Structure formats: C-alpha cells, structure tokens
Structure 1
Amino acid sequence: MNQPARQSKVAHNPPDAERYIRPKQKRLIRLGKRLRDPVNRLLAGQSKVGDAPIIDPALVPGLNEVAHQWAAMRAEIAPLMREREAIPPLGRISPDHRRIASTPAWKSFFFQGYGYHVEQNEARCPTIVEAISRIPGVVVAFLSIMEPGTHVPRHRGLTKSWLNCHLPLMLPDDDGRCEIAINDKIVQWRKGEWLVFDETYPHEVWNQSGEPRVVLLLQVQRQMRLAGHLASRALYHAIRHSSFVGDVRKSVGK
C-alpha cells in the first residue's frame, strides 16, 4: 500500500534563494514531449525487462557487480564534498531541467553524457569511472548531490529507452525525510544497493534532512528487442546532437 505524503521538516526553498528560470523550450523538445506517450507505449512492448515502475537491478547487466564498491566510491568523493560549493547546480548548467531544479540545492558533478566525457571530473574519481566502465550501455553518468532542504517536484522523464539507476554513496544519518516517490510509492535508498526505475512514471524527491544526499546516477540503455533497440539508437543520436546536450556541454567546458 502506498504511504501518505508526510510533512517536511525543512522549508523547500528559502524565499531569497537564487532561482533559475527555464527558457522557452525549443520546437524539437516540444515535439518530442508531444510524441512521448505514443512512442513509449511502443517501446514498452519492446522491453526485455518488463514495464514496471521499479526494476530489479539484477536485470541490468553490470550493476550488481560493482555495487560492493560503494564504500570506496564514498571515500573517493569525500574531498569533492568538502568543496562542493564549487560544484554547479543542475539548473544552472541544464536550462531544460529548470522546472524541477530551480535553485542551487541540486548539484551535479558530470562524468559523461551521450558519448561526451568530462575528463577533468573523471580524473578526480578513478574508482567511480572504472566502475561505470564495467556497466554496458551507460548513456549518462553523474553524481547527484541534494543539499538539505531540496525538493524535486513530481515529474516524469522523456523515454523508456533507458533506465534510471541510483547507487547511494552518502545518505543522511538523521531522521529527516530523504526519499523518492516513484509512481506514488515511497522508496528509501539503501547503502550499497542500486535503485532502478523507469523515469517515464511520475516521481518526486525530497531531502528534508540536515545533511546532503549523494547518489551515483546513471541512465542505462534498457534491453530491447530489435525494433525497440533501433528506435532507441535513433533517439540517442537525435538527443546527442540537440541543444539539450549542447547546453550542458557548454556549461561544463566541453
């Protein structure tokens, strides 16, 4: 049974916080969102791992093989977290995310996306990068850092072509609310365990604790039958050459 929403202990965003406003979306992005539902219905029928909101990590090759490295990854990011004010907010570097990342509370330390690598970031986290290299079909990889008071409003992603995979590296130790709702089911992250879900289902995130939450966030190609695989590859190349990826590349110096 789904759990009811609980009251937050920390205000979502201070009234004087820096804000990011999403610009008018480009025509290609708007067209893609209009086509999202019919295309995803077709892709759901092509999936080799079913169409549930939450997916067993064992169905995604490579994930469980690297999960045991989470403590080493956590140790590796400790220096980054001591200087995390320098890590850019997601809303600053990705204008298309500004509806759900409108303040500096959600930071992102990118390793790779759509075939482009951020070498200076990868050089700082060789253990994490080596683990990522052992997972087939990674489309996007970054550290998702949510400061105390972060709230990501209910939203859904673009495509069933890939799955969202979270490996928690730092979780708050206090009793504040730190969780994700996926298709209205409340889920907590657990140390050393992947959480895999289909981002086309509505989801919402809170960190109302007093400590940061850090997950290694991967988007990994969903295993598909031939027609779905070909459609996903076409979408991958379209997004790779879109302004959506171009804006992020400019922001991270690629």
Structure 2
Amino acid sequence: MAQTTPWYNMLGERYSGDQPTFYDSDGLPWVKTLEDNWQVFRDELIALSESRPQQLRPYYINKAMSFPPRHWKTMGLYFWRFTMHGNCKRCPKTVGLLESIPGLVSASLSVLEPGSNINPHQGDTDAVYRCHLPLSVPEPLPNCGLQVGTDIRGWEEGRALTFCDAQTHTAWNHSDRRRLVMIIDVVRPEFIDRQHGVCAHVLASSVIQMLYQSSSLLNRLPGLLKRGLYHLFRGLIYLYLPIQRRFAL
C-alpha cells in the first residue's frame, strides 16, 4: 500500500516509517542527469567555493554535528526552496541541470574535512529522496563511507547514492584530504503536489532546532507549547516561501 502521509521529525522523534535505507537509483530517471554531468557540477561548485570561501560554513543548524566540531561544511544553492541567488548565479550550468529535475527542493556542496565524522543523526522527513553525488572522494571504504541504518556504502566519484534521510545515518572521512559531495533533495512522486508544505515543515523544524540550541528555556517548555511553536513557524514559512524566491540572498 502506497504511503499517503509524510513522516516529519517535529520534536526529535525516532523515525517510525518503513522506507528503505538506500533506494535503487536505477528507478529514478533524474539520477542519470546527475551522473552524466557530475564533472560539470564538480567544476562549478569547486570554483564557487574558491571564489566565495566565506560562504562555505560549518553546518549551521547544529555545529556540533561533526567531530571534531565544525569539520562538516556546506555551501547552498537551494535550501528547501529558499534560493541562494548569489551562489546560483555563479553556477549557471549546474542550476540549469538542477532546474530540470521535477521536485528538487535542496542542493548544496557538502565538505567533510580530513580525519572527521558526521555524527549519527536523522533528517526531518521521509517525503524526499536524499541523494549524494560524489565529486571528490579521497579514499574508498573503509576510510571514507556512509552508513544508513545498518547498511554501509562507499562513495565513488560520479556515482549517486540515494537514501532515506529520515533513517539514522552517519558518514566519515578518515583520509588526509577533503571529501566533497553535492547533496540534493527531491520530493518523492506521491508527495509532489505537496512539496511547498513539505518544505515549510522542514524549515520550521530547522528554526526550532536552532532556537533550542540558543535557549535552554525553550527545552523546558511543555510538549504542547513546543508543537504550537512549531506549527506557528510552519504557517509563517508557508506564506513567505513564494515571496522569498523572487528576491536575492
């Protein structure tokens, strides 16, 4: 029976859905677009990171997500339909290819520094396919890899790995060089007509996580108030998203 309701991680709940750890990329036609053009993505995104190094920042929702801290860095093009227009303008070929993928809502360069791990965590929803397109992989398994649930895969340059972000996952780079991948999120077909709402849910979760880290008081709020705050932000973001896409960031 097809899934009819997305799962959302509102307040740190454990994933309760039945999606697989990794998806069969052969059944996803847009994966071929990524793999056929991986060098285009690599060249433009590396050039972007070199021309705007200040935009490559530690993962900002939770800077302690990696060990050592601040060793997982990202530079965004799209973040749940928020558009980083300045970055996009510097990657015209990349943006043109990404815009051809129905349901794409996020795209970013992800850098994992040498000798570091991304700590086990789970994402905010199972309504999307999370995809890693490896652009520079310093070493194969066991020194560099991705674990989703109990399944472990190594990255290969130009070969996409597509998985369920809601499942607990971790990654590591135990080499002496940076690992670079492009990360994208594509809304699953059964939720494509709800992608605006999916993005509003995930963005609200991101805002709540950042607020909780900055204020211990929020962590002591009753669950009912926490959920009310979450849905308040979700509603505001839902209204603001269409406006934001018209203006530069």
Task: Verify same fold: TM over 0.5.
Answer: yes
> 1:192 aligned to 158, 163, 180, which one?
158
The AA in structure 2 aligned to 1:238 is H
What is the CA-CA distance between 1:112 and the residue it aligns to? 0.9
Structure 2 alignment gaps of length 5 or more = 1-7, 211-240, 242-247
1:151 aligns with 2:114: no
| Matching of residue 59 in structure 1 with residue 24 in structure 2 | no
Structure 2: how far apart are the matches of 1:229 and 1:174? 35
2:11 to 33, 38, 52: 33
**Residue 118 in structure 1 maps to residue 84 in structure 2:** yes
Deviation at 1:240, TM superposition (A): 4.3
Shift of 1:90: 3.2
Alpha-carbon distance in structure 2 between the residues aligned to 1:56 and 1:211 = 29
1:192-214, Cα deviation, whole Å (9 max, x unpaired): 21100001221111011111111
Supply the distance in 2 between the matched residues of 1:194 and 1:242 (Cα, whole angstroms). 27
Q: 5 Å matches for 1:53-132?
A: 53-82=21-50, 85-91=53-59, 94-95=60-61, 97-101=62-66, 103-132=69-98
Could you list the per-position Cα deviations for residues 60-98 of structure 1 after superposition, in whole angstroms to 9, with x for gaps in the alignment? 34221231111222222343454675343233xx33x23
Q: Structure 1: 5+ residue runs without aligned partners? A: 1-29, 45-50
Distance 2:66 2:175 in 1: 18
1:124-143 → structure 2 map (5 Å cutoff)? 124-143=90-109
Distance across 2 between alignment mates of 1:234 and 1:57? 25
Instruction: After TM superposition, give the deviation of residue 241 of structure 1 in Å.
Output: 5.7
CA deviation vs aligned residue, 1:114-155 (integer Å, no higher than 9, x gap):
222111111222222122111111121100111112211111
What is the match of residue 22 of structure 1? none
TM-aligned CA deviation for residue 59 of structure 1: 2.8
Q: TM-score, normalised by structure 2?
A: 0.70
3-state SS of paired residue (2:70): coil
Per mean C-alpha deviation after superposition, the further-off stretch among 163-172 and 237-246 is 237-246
Partner of 1:236: 199
What TM-score do the two structures reach when normalised by structure 1? 0.69
Q: Secondary structure at the match of 2:11?
A: helix
Q: What's the offset of the Cα at 1:237?
A: 2.7
Counterpart Cα distance in 1 of 2:134 and 2:75: 14
Which whole-Å CA distance do the structure 1 matches of 2:195 and 2:100 have between them? 21
Identical amino acids, percent of aligned pairs: 24
Structure 2 SS opposite 1:52: coil
Question: How far has the Cα of 1:172 moved from its partner?
Answer: 0.8
Q: Which residue pairs with 1:206 in the alignment?
A: 172
